Structure 1
Amino acid sequence: MIKLKKEVDMTNHTLILPSVAFGNVGQLAVDLIISSLKLQRIGYLVNNAFIPIIGADPYDEKSTDLCTTVDLFHGPEKKIVVLQIRSPLVKKPISFFTELIQFITERKIKKVVILTSSYGHEQRDAQLRTVPLRYVASPSMLEECGNQFENLNWIQLEPKVIDFINPRENLYIPGGGFAKSLIDTLASATIPSVILLRFCSEGDNIPEAVELTNYLNNWLNIIQKEESGTCKIKYPPSWKFLFGNPPPLELY
């Protein structure tokens, strides 16, 4: 159940959410979007498919607000709604998907963007020779935005053989969490949706999250850009001790 703190018009908005995945790149990218745009928390989701958590506001050190497992944020100027997920699934996500589709339909949200990541070691030689970013779009999203994706020189995720007994190519996102299942569910409901993913390794994936945020921003233009064309990103204060101090320069 998605509970709102106040009534908000979300007509023709874009919903952005992460899939809890390998390397947490999608979640980190969503943190950057919320922090950079100073989005307002307008609600939260309660669903027993996720491990329940509660903590201090990760975006404002002076705030007395709390964060929960799944929080909802709103940016009326950019017409975006952002769902941040902070814990993994512990049950099948069917009930979560059902609630999400109902929310999208009732609120007349226009399209959905799923941010995720995938195992870097699963890349094939051809993929290693290109940018480590891919997209997967639903048929309705391709019809609406396919030309934009081509103009941005985006590359669709290549299908691969995962069963050599039945060597048929399938679209597979290893380490990508529920992203593929969600886009299939959204596509069956004729909701325009797209997955943006970054291949990564385990460890400090802040650079990968920044790259994924820039990738998204080249399309949606929701974050102001520097002269270089990259986003004017603001790290959340909760990231201060995320991975400890950088290595001392004396090492080099």
Structure 2
Amino acid sequence: MYTSRHFWRDKVDSTQNHIPYKLLFSLYTFAHTFSWRVWVFLQLQTKVSSFRKLMVSWIKSCGFLRTVLLSSSHAYQRDDQQLFGTHLRYLLTPSLQKEEGQRVGELGWREMERISILPDVCESEQRLYIPGGGVTKALYTDCCTEDISMAVLLIFCSEGDNIPDAFMLINHLNDWLHLLEKPTQGSVQWKVPPSWRLLFGSGIPPQLF
């Protein structure tokens, strides 16, 4: 979750349109997609601006009802006002704000703060600052410009084992979209990627002993 960007898309017609994989790999990135009911999930790792523009164009051409970008930001680069309370933040593009703004407000979510360019000057210009967020800010800005319904959910986290952060973020998303039903007791049992078992490597080879 820390080094990758996760996209969720609610698709109008899952039988039409597809992402051009040849172009994906020509831009030195990778993607994993799969369909579940009407959902399409896509995991990406790239900072190439031309690919970002391709993604925006692809989202528009597919006619997705909404797009959700799961991301993160460096915890050690937070502004003073971000040091208290939850580590979770959200952003909505203007088009999605009209549709989901009230509902998100009822959930008590905290919007990503704009930071002063000059911290010690109260009247300084405010800007969106997501250090460590990779393409998050640029993609969000593009979707605002293109009138795309996008939500950004992110979490402030540190280097190391971010599995708890991943669960916190996906549970936060589930509170809104109800991807899985919450049990009366305990928490939702998410299926984790097999790669998480080797988060810190495959262990010491037995041949050494």
- TM-score class, shorter-chain normalisation, is 0.7 to 0.9
* Ranges in structure 2 where 5+ consecutive residues have no aligned partner: 9-17, 203-209
- What is the CA–CA distance in structure 1 between the aligned matches of 2:98 and 2:24, rounded to whole Å? 33
* Residue equivalent to 2:24: 47
Residues 227 and 25 (structure 1), Cα distance of their counterparts in 2 relative to 1, 3 Å cut: farther
- What is the CA–CA distance in structure 1 between the aligned matches of 2:94 and 2:167, rounded to whole Å? 28
User: Which segment is superposed worse, 139-148 or 166-175?
Assistant: 166-175
* Residue equivalent to 2:41: 82
Contact 1:133 1:197 in 2 (8 A): yes
If asked which structure has higher relative contact order (CA below 8 Å, sep 6+), I would say 1
1:170 Cα deviation (Å)? Answer: 0.8
1:46-79, CA deviations, whole angstroms, 9 ceiling, x for partnerless residues?
3367435xxxxxxxxxxxxxxxx11222112xx2
User: Which segment is superposed worse, 200-209 or 126-135?
Assistant: 126-135
Residues 129 and 137 (structure 1), Cα distance of their counterparts in 2 relative to 1, 3 Å cut: same
* Residue equivalent to 1:214: 171
The percentage of aligned residue pairs carrying the same residue is: 33
* Residue equivalent to 1:139: 94
Alignment of 1:238-249 (within 5 A): 238-244=195-201
Are 1:24 and 2:3 an aligned pair? yes
Contact 1:138 1:192 in 2 (8 A): yes
Aligned match for 1:105, one of 60, 65, 72? 60
Indicate the SS of the match to 2:24. Answer: coil
- What is the CA–CA distance in structure 2 between the aligned matches of 1:43 and 1:139, rounded to whole Å? 26
* Residue equivalent to 1:186: 143
Contact 1:133 1:196 in 2 (8 A): yes
> What one-letter code is carried by the residue in structure 1 that aligns with 2:63?
K
Residues 73 and 154 (structure 1), Cα distance of their counterparts in 2 relative to 1, 3 Å cut: same
* Residue equivalent to 2:14: none
Number of residue pairs aligned between Structure 1 and Structure 2 = 191
1:116 Cα deviation (Å)? Answer: 0.6
1:119-167, CA deviations, whole angstroms, 9 ceiling, x for partnerless residues?
1112234322211000011111111100111111000011112346993
Residues 211 and 44 (structure 1), Cα distance of their counterparts in 2 relative to 1, 3 Å cut: farther
Contact 1:141 1:194 in 2 (8 A): yes
1:244 Cα deviation (Å)? Answer: 4.9
1:112 Cα deviation (Å)? Answer: 0.8
* Ranges in structure 1 where 5+ consecutive residues have no aligned partner: 1-17, 34-41, 53-68, 246-252
Contact 2:19 2:58 in 1 (8 A): no
